[in-house]
Amino acid sequence: MHVQSVIEIAETDGQLPVEIIIKGYRLSQKRLTVFILNEVTPDAVNRVLDPVVPTLPLLIPGVLYIKISDEACVREAVGAAEVVYAATAMFRDLLTGYGVLPGLLRSIELLKPESSKRVRLAESGEQKCISSAPEVQRRTITYLASLARSYWREAGSA
């Protein structure tokens, strides 16, 4: 099994990370993406993906669901992954216990878009409401380092 990414899917305050689930499915166009389901059912993830699946080609690797309690499958998935995104401290601790290299592990926050929408699930599992997180301002700094530029600047100013 060659896995591009392993993504932990866990509720936060009873809300599913909708954008992360959708982004994970979109990532699966190139190679297999594995969702580690932490107290989340496959049906809940399917309800999020049902409107998205028809928008992508049918012949993509797609996503594989693995329950966090299935230690053998979790170990196999993270052992074959290029990157692992963890949402909870429990999963990070589990990965550390499995001997996963720290360079392989990323925070789930890296997959979140600037405004994060989540779907609150009702008791019956239906979508109840959608809320947005506050927008985060980001600052980008670009550094250019080049010996050639430095040389030409100095030569031009002399």
Return all residues near 139 (Cβ < 8 A) that are at least 6 apart. none
Residue 149: its pLDDT value, please?
38
Domain span holding position 115 = 3-157
CA atoms within a 13 Å half-sphere pointing along the CA-CB vector of 30 = 7
Residue 58: its pLDDT value, please?
83
8 Å CB contact between 9 and 38: yes
Q: How far is CA 23 from the centre of its chain?
A: 7
Residue 101: its pLDDT value, please?
77
What distances in angstroms separate CA 56 from CA 40, 61, 117, one per listed residue? Answer: 24, 11, 21
Strands 15-16 and 117-121: antiparallel
Residues of the chain with pLDDT below 70 are: 1, 113-158
CATH number at residue 128: 3.40.50
Residue 114: its pLDDT value, please?
57
Q: How far is CA 155 from the centre of its chain?
A: 48
Q: How much of the chain, in percent, has pLDDT values that exceed 70?
A: 70
Residue 103: its pLDDT value, please?
80
Residue 92: its pLDDT value, please?
92
Q: How many residues does the chain have?
A: 158
Residue 158: its pLDDT value, please?
42
Give the count of domains, the chain.
1
Structure tokens at 118: 């989540």
pTM over 0.75: no
